[in-house]
Amino acid sequence: MGSTVIRGGTVVTADLSYPADVKVENGKITEIGPNLSGDTTLDATGCFVMPGGIDPHTHLEMPFMGTYSADDFDSGTRAALAGGTTMVIDFALPAPDQSLMDALKVWDNKTARAHCDYSFHMAITGWRREIFDEMEQVVDRGITSFKHFMAYKGALMVNDDEMFASFRRVGDLGGIAMVHAENGDVVAEMCARLLAEGNTGPEAHAYSRPPQVEGEATNRAIMLADMAGVPLYVVHVSCEDSHEAIRRARALGKRVWGEPLIQHLTLDDSEYANPDWDHAARRVMSPPFRNKRHQDSLWAGLMSGSLSAVATDHCAFTTEQKRFGVGDFTRIPNGTGGLEDRMPMLWTHGVATGRLTPNEFVAITSTNIAKIMGMYPKKGAVMVGADADLVVLDPKAGKTISAATQQSAIDYNVFEGHAVTGLPRFTLTRGRVAVTEGKLDAREGWGEFVARTPRGEVNRALSAWKELSAPRPIQRSGIPATGV
């Protein structure tokens, strides 16, 4: 591959905007400055040259609720690139009794067709000696974030004793703990009650998991992480109750990050009142969409910095799959798509409305994520030496989102009919031009696994800092935590 120069644009990073050309060779950024030349030129006049988006939360080809999510690493990463996202972090999910390393093999095998780079988080869905031991191997493979489901009782959920033991282990390994924060016991109880009372439709899904369910679990996870001394990343923060807990923890000096989804920022709970069963069921996800008060809270969090990243939780199911839940809302596969739409939807509703600056947009779609997840500045940076994962975003280019033109394999789009601006004129994945003016030229198998490094941070409240300030060495062996 010869050299490529992105010419005439404005480079936008998480902290700076300035006019410059960007030169790319062998997949890396090699020069940034005025009047560069190369073998190929991409015209970025009127555009912003930004780090490609990183979606830290996807579920591609995931076995879930009796089926598999419909987008795999082929259609999912095509959708990513089409929308200006150049990397995804997916969740490796061990089956019951499966070892973590075996689960990783399964996930490795799913990625053969990936069109852009990817990494994994590891889900901890049970607790036993083998898992404790294997977590070190997982970290050594460059997977430094461990997800815990506080919901999905009887399937993925871990109890507090298991979660606390795992948190301690993650902390000792220098990794970060992640949580899906919903009180699974309460959700199970509310689902049973709603069904018994004859509430079987998709609108009951939202009633089964009100904001308090999420707020309680977020508070609990933060306190457990604090006691375990592990940094905590809270996925899909959908409401003020959860955001408030994160805000407070951060003000106390705790390393806690919150991730709202583009869906929760832009779609509200009135979707479930739609009389069309399919319409409502297609929007069933956990946590569910909330009302405007909660949406305002999420936007405020992004504007003030108390929330750190915007993701999708891309977990797409076809209408046919959603219909597994006709007559019983608890059987509707939970999940929505968004990989192709996250960047333009956030640009449109965030930057074009004046809520966010372009620099803040870069921070929450890419740079903050690369930093938190231990892969900065290889990813998330427009910097000499960084991977040439870039989006040349045209703020004037617009379209109307439609399932008819999307890359996703499903038959609808929850953002159908939304007008968006801020589309990629070009998307580059490690220097390869994968999108030109809306035309996708992705290459199967181009995507590579990105190994991440442990950050080694401790999580200590400021009040406890003095006594506990000695940096903890990463412990690679020792007595298993309680609960093994």
**Which partner from the list Zn ion, ligand DUC, none does 285 bind, CB cut-off 5 to 8 Å by kind?**
ligand DUC
Residue whose beta carbon is closest to ligand DUC: 285
User: Counting contacts by CB under 5 A, is residue 180 touching Zn ion?
Assistant: yes
The binder of ligand DUC chosen from 7, 23, 57, 59 (CB under 6 A): 59
Q: Which is nearer to ligand DUC, 178 or 315 (CB)?
A: 315
Q: Which is nearer to ligand DUC, 322 or 371 (CB)?
A: 322
List Cβ neighbours of 126 (8 Å cut-off, separation of 6 or more). 94, 96, 97, 158, 162
User: Counting contacts by CB under 6 A, is residue 187 touching ligand DUC?
Assistant: no
User: Counting contacts by CB under 5 A, is residue 61 touching Zn ion?
Assistant: no
SS3 317: coil
Q: Which is nearer to ligand DUC, 194 or 285 (CB)?
A: 285
Cα–Cα distance measured from residue 252 to residue 245, given in angstroms and rounded to the nearest whole number:
11
**Shortest distance in whole angstroms from residue 476 CB to Zn ion:** 29
Q: Which is nearer to Zn ion, 347 or 426 (CB)?
A: 347
Q: Which is nearer to ligand DUC, 286 or 459 (CB)?
A: 286
**Which partner from the list ligand DUC, Zn ion, none does 335 bind, CB cut-off 5 to 8 Å by kind?**
ligand DUC
Residue 290 phi/psi, 5-degree rounding, is: -120, 180
The pattern of x and - marking residues 365 through 404 that bind Zn ion according to CB under 5 A reads ----------------------------------------
**Shortest distance in whole angstroms from residue 135 CB to Zn ion:** 20
Cα–Cα distance measured from residue 91 to residue 76, given in angstroms and rounded to the nearest whole number:
14
Q: What is the sign, positive or negative, of the torsion defined by CA atoms of 311, 313, 314, 318?
A: negative
**Shortest distance in whole angstroms from residue 416 CB to ligand DUC:** 19
Q: Which of 446, 429, 439, 445 is nearest to 4 (CA)?
A: 429
User: Counting contacts by CB under 5 A, is residue 209 touching Zn ion?
Assistant: no
**Shortest distance in whole angstroms from residue 269 CB to Zn ion:** 16
Stretch that binds Zn ion, among 27-35, 154-162, 173-181, 475-483 (CB under 5 A): 173-181
Cα–Cα distance measured from residue 315 to residue 320, given in angstroms and rounded to the nearest whole number:
15
CA-based end-to-end distance of the chain? 51
**Which partner from the list Zn ion, ligand DUC, none does 418 bind, CB cut-off 5 to 8 Å by kind?**
Zn ion
Cα–Cα distance measured from residue 57 to residue 120, given in angstroms and rounded to the nearest whole number:
9
Q: Which is nearer to Zn ion, 243 or 418 (CB)?
A: 418
**Which partner from the list Zn ion, ligand DUC, none does 334 bind, CB cut-off 5 to 8 Å by kind?**
ligand DUC
Q: Could you tell me the two tokens for 209?
A: 């998991």
Stretch that binds Zn ion, among 9-17, 60-68, 72-80, 416-424 (CB under 5 A): 416-424
Angle CA(214)–CA(220)–CA(225) in degrees, nearest 5?
125
H or E segment and range at residue 43: strand 40-43
Angle CA(335)–CA(339)–CA(343) in degrees, nearest 5?
130
**C-alpha distances in angstroms, 141 versus 76, 135, 234, 420, 465?**
23, 10, 23, 39, 31
The pattern of x and - marking residues 281 through 320 that bind ligand DUC according to CB under 6 A reads ----xx--------------------------x-x-----
User: Counting contacts by CB under 5 A, is residue 148 touching Zn ion?
Assistant: no
SS3 230: coil
Binders of ligand DUC among 320-379, rule CB under 6 A?
Answer: 334-335
User: Counting contacts by CB under 5 A, is residue 418 touching Zn ion?
Assistant: yes
User: Counting contacts by CB under 6 A, is residue 255 touching ligand DUC?
Assistant: no
The binder of ligand DUC chosen from 169, 180, 205, 314 (CB under 6 A): 180
Q: Which is nearer to ligand DUC, 14 or 179 (CB)?
A: 179
Kindly state the number of chain residues that form the binding site for Zn ion, as judged by CB under 5 A.
3
Cα–Cα distance measured from residue 14 to residue 51, given in angstroms and rounded to the nearest whole number:
9
Burial (0-12, 13-18, 19+ Cβ within 10 Å), 398 = middle
User: Counting contacts by CB under 6 A, is residue 238 touching ligand DUC?
Assistant: no
For the sheet containing 85-92, what is the strand order? 53-58, 85-92, 117-123, 145-149, 176-180, 232-234, 256-258
SS3 14: coil
Q: Which is nearer to Zn ion, 23 or 180 (CB)?
A: 180
**Shortest distance in whole angstroms from residue 281 CB to Zn ion:** 18
Q: Which is nearer to ligand DUC, 209 or 371 (CB)?
A: 209
**Shortest distance in whole angstroms from residue 185 CB to ligand DUC:** 16
Query: Angle, nearest 10°, between helix axes 240-251 and 211-228?
Result: 20
The DSSP string of 370-400 is HHHTT-TTTSS--STTSB--EEEEEEEEEEE
User: Counting contacts by CB under 5 A, is residue 313 touching Zn ion?
Assistant: yes
SS3 262: helix
Residues forming the site for ligand DUC (CB under 6 A): 59, 180, 285-286, 313, 315, 334-335
Residues forming the site for Zn ion (CB under 5 A): 180, 313, 418
